[in-house]
A and B are shown apart, each in its own frame.
Chain A
Amino acid sequence: MSAVAMKPEKKDAQDRMPRVKITEAQWSDEQKTEFLRRRRARNYLLLAALGGFCLIVYVIAMVKLHEYGRMW
């Protein structure tokens, strides 16, 4: 066995989940559907979070400019 093969795997590497393209994964149709559903849900959540962030910044700016006439 080569020295490289004997080298213990790093902790971070053990944490990492196998990266397999959805097209190559040995998934059933049901699993693929579930994977896509979860990915879509995550993307919508990220979109909502970004939208929420913009909205909060907008509200802060409006309130501060209205009340104090300045942002800082």
Chain B
Amino acid sequence: MRHCKQIVDLVSQGMESKLPWSIRMEVKMHLLMCKNCYRYAKQLKFMQSELKTIENNIADTALTETAKKRIQQSLKLAIHETSND
């Protein structure tokens, strides 16, 4: 039987890859019996879904006006060059 410290690693790995059936079952059983690991697994899932959309929720980061202008000019130049090809 694996202990919590090992289950924590398997929960993480299981989010990105398919674990062998027997290990998946063991993790499942462990989570049913262990409140801390159950909460840990739930919190990882929550973190994962938040991470996928975080750029939509951090409005305080934006391009500066200077950066925008610079990008705009470079784009103009690049587009001009490609249309001349």
Pair from one complex:
no
